Amino acid sequence: MNVLRIYPSSVNIKAIDQVADELLGGGLAVYPTDTRYAIGCSALSKQATEKLCRLKQLDPARNTLSIICGDISQASRYARIDNEAYALLRRYTPGPYTFILDAAPTLPKVFKGRRKVGLRIPDNPIVRELAIALDGPILTTSLKVPDVEQGDSVSAHIVEPLAEGLGVDVMIDGGSIVDHDSTVVDITDTDNPVIVRQGVAPFPR
């Protein structure tokens, strides 16, 4: 497994491009977000999405799958974002939220039959730049570290052996992250947003 150190305060685009190349080739990556380290792949790669779903025991027919996008413009290619949803995304992202939206028909085959998709635009420039370099969404799921409580600081050195054991191709060492859940909000009906999971950030605020 290749490990690349990238500082969120000064993102090395050359290193980001290396990770994007791995994902474009069907690889799996571990990367930092604004809530915890996560594992993911190119959502446009059928082989990689199937591998990730097997690895994390995700059933696309039952679980709402989540994607990371670099910005709202990129997100609008894969989720239905009306004016009201756009206003919410402008207010709350980048940030530690997962917004459930109606899926767009442009989502790849693994999402077919699913009417909703979870959207993350994290407050971490590393993973946002990765999605932009990939020119597509990252299928993402949290990498929970055993015996870590909410609010604990998790270093990349703790995460690295977990990533190695999962057969990940590349890992971004983005330093230590305070472990939290994102707040999940269903905004498919923007007049009546529903908090599915209360995480680290309040909604509304």
pTM: 0.94
User: What is the rounded average pLDDT for all residues in the chain?
Assistant: 93
Give the whole-angstrom CA distance, residue 99 versus residue 119.
5
Tell me how far CA of residue 197 lies from CA of 100, 133, 193, 194, 202, in angstroms.
11, 30, 12, 9, 10
Query: Taking the CB of residue 50, how many other CB atoms lie within 10 A of it?
Result: 14
Cβ–Cβ < 8 Å for 189, 178: no
Q: Answer yes or no: is pLDDT of 57 > 90.
A: no
Give the whole-angstrom CA distance, residue 103 versus residue 180.
26
Q: Return the pLDDT at 113.
A: 64
Mean pLDDT, rounded, for 49-70? 87
